[in-house]
Structure 1
Amino acid sequence: MGFHLGYIFALLTLAVVALASHATLPVTQLYWNSVLPNTQMPKAISELLQPAEFIIEDKSTPAEVENPDAKKMYAYAAENHQFREDPNAAALVFLEKNIRPGTTMNWPYARNTNTATFLPRRTAESIAFSSTKLPEILKHFSLEPSSVEANTIKETIQECEAPGIKGEEKYCATSLESMIDFTTSKLGTSVEALVSTEEEKEATIFMHKYTIMPGVKKLEGEKAVMCHKQNYPYAVFYCHAIKQTRAYIVPLVGADGVKAKAVAVCHIDTSEWNPKHLAFQVLKVKPGTVPICHFLTNDHIVWVPKSI
């Protein structure tokens, strides 16, 4: 018995609609969908894509337009992958035993002002990213070698090229596709990407006391890939794979009733950290003695194995 013509027409219509929708997705979104079909893309990542500019037009060829943010730098106060010696950084660190309902702590929430967006991998890889090619990079972005922006670019590249600490594998992802590849090479494709969120405040930077509410969730496994957004004309993330790590989703409520969802990462083995690391000074502990935890700020992404 053959299919009813009306039914066949309906199926064809749905297929055409699906293909049309697929064709207007940014190339980076398509790559995410193909490699991580069962992983939801966080809003903080999707906001860094270029849906209107990098789309599939003729089956496989991306139409790439110059990134409007790639000609200017965005100076902003954000946490690096190392804690910096300022009050906000000090407030970020705490002991794992304190991740329990009722604990009150300061949480510096910084709304991300670094608006540099992802370039598609093909575009990013066509732009030099090496300290040996610095003159070429500065020329590409029309920057004077003596400018503040040029120095920021130099520092970011040098940081990416510097050796990582023992026990960690580091990588600077110049595109979301390359971040996905690095992450899945360490954790597999059954992963989830987490960011800290706070939806009820409009201030760019604020810090006040939050109390941990019931519902703390410990995530699967003791390995993770952490990625931190860098100062650069387009989105570049410093990623490092950490094996002895535990991650938590921590619900918080402020003294003013504002609710937030923070992601806390705890480093189980700190024996290889610099004894002068700010975390040891703040918490008054020694390297390798207890897990040290910190909240993620908005420009950080932690990838963890997906919970079963």
Structure 2
Amino acid sequence: MGSGFSSWCTTLCLVVSALMCAQDGDARRVAKWQEEDKDKYDHTDSSVHIFFTIDNLKTGKSLPICFSYQSSTKSYLLSREEANSIPFSSEKLPYLLELFSFSKDSPQAKAMEYTLKHCELEPIEGETRFCATSLESMLDSARGVFGLDTEFKLLTTSSLTKPTPLQNYTILEVPQEIFAPKSIACHSMPYPYAVFYCHGQENKNRLFEISLGGEDGEKVEAVAVCHMDTSQWDADHVSFRVLKIKPGDSPVCHFFPLDNLVWVPLPT
């Protein structure tokens, strides 16, 4: 019990550090979504310069990549108790808009509606899917996927400095594959406080850690995933337009933004 609790606390600290979430003031403060930043709230407007094919995983290969924070608004992490005290449902959207003082036609309202509806989608066959509104709920859900007695680690894309929004990056070394029968990727979502959409498919993804060098000298230690089976994906998925392929044609790979998390179990 003691060692398990200690391990849980250590993992929690690692997540907070990875997200750089040491905010000033009380956690009850939510993100101050300013009207002048309204172009940031459209989650669907995220950069498309993260997709590539598995054939591109070669040393010396150069790719145009945009390493950014997927949710560019400043969101605050809530405790489980705080998060559970706030409804998280599209049915409650009118109440939530009133709670956060957003008009129903505002960019913030559209972003909240997008996130709530995305979190309510049914998983496809063989997929695990959940949304976490606190770190505690994220870790508990991950434990439920991997097994209560399974230890797991966190992978993130990292850079020593803020990367240039879009530039060509060269693969510096042979990509290192992370062999894991299961993995869970958690993507930050636009919302007044920190919300993560997490999903994974058993034995249908391949994870890689990739060292990249930018044109400006920036070095990024990136995490990327290749989805080996896309036959059940929506035909309108942006990756198909970018890569000019159709569902099931070939694996779709993408780099993870800087504020995303990937959980993998440790070898037993």
Contact 1:119–1:235 (CA under 8 A) maintained in structure 2 = yes
For residue 149 of structure 1, what is the amino acid of its counterpart? Answer: Q
The offset of 1:245, in angstroms, is 0.9
Q: How does 1:6-21 map to 2 (within 5 A)?
A: none
Contact 1:42–1:195 (CA under 8 A) maintained in structure 2 = no
Inter-partner Cα distance in structure 1 for 2:175 and 2:121 = 36
Alignment equivalent of 2:231, drawn from 265, 271, 275: 271
Q: Which has the higher contact order (CA 8 A, sep 6+)?
A: 2
The offset of 1:233, in angstroms, is 0.8
Deviations 1:150-179 (A, max 9, x none): 332222212211223333221111111111
Larger radius of gyration between Structure 1 and Structure 2:
1
Aligned to 1:200: 161
TM-score, normalising length from structure 1? 0.73
What SS does the corresponding residue of 1:261 show, helix, strand or coil? Answer: strand
Q: Within the alignment, does 1:248 sit opposite 2:208 as a pair?
A: yes
Contact 1:193–1:303 (CA under 8 A) maintained in structure 2 = yes
What SS does the corresponding residue of 2:166 show, helix, strand or coil? Answer: strand
What SS does the corresponding residue of 1:122 show, helix, strand or coil? Answer: helix
Aligned to 1:69: 30
Change (3 A) 1:104 1:148: closer
Aligned to 2:180: 221
For residue 239 of structure 1, what is the amino acid of its counterpart? Answer: C
TM-score, normalising length from structure 2? 0.83
Q: Within the alignment, does 1:35 sit opposite 2:8 as a pair?
A: yes
Contact 1:223–1:241 (CA under 8 A) maintained in structure 2 = yes
Aligned to 2:170: 211
Aligned to 1:170: 129
What SS does the corresponding residue of 1:238 show, helix, strand or coil? Answer: strand
Deviations 1:60-81 (A, max 9, x none): xxxxx5622356467564895x
Q: State the Cα RMSD in Å.
A: 2.9
For residue 60 of structure 2, what is the amino acid of its counterpart? Answer: G
Q: Within the alignment, does 1:158 sit opposite 2:131 as a pair?
A: no
The offset of 1:287, in angstroms, is 2.6
Inter-partner Cα distance in structure 2 for 1:38 and 1:154 = 31
Q: Within the alignment, does 1:102 sit opposite 2:60 as a pair?
A: yes
Deviations 1:273-308 (A, max 9, x none): 123433233333343243211001123211122357
Inter-partner Cα distance in structure 1 for 2:17 and 2:185 = 15
Inter-partner Cα distance in structure 1 for 2:232 and 2:102 = 38
Deviations 1:229-267 (A, max 9, x none): 111111011111222111111001122322111111110
Aligned to 1:92: 50
What SS does the corresponding residue of 2:67 show, helix, strand or coil? Answer: strand
Contact 1:107–1:210 (CA under 8 A) maintained in structure 2 = yes
The offset of 1:85, in angstroms, is 7.4
Aligned to 1:16: none
Inter-partner Cα distance in structure 2 for 1:148 and 1:296 = 25
Deviations 1:79-102 (A, max 9, x none): 95xxx577x31x321111321211
Aligned length: 259
- Structure 1: state its 5+ residue gaps: 1-30, 54-64
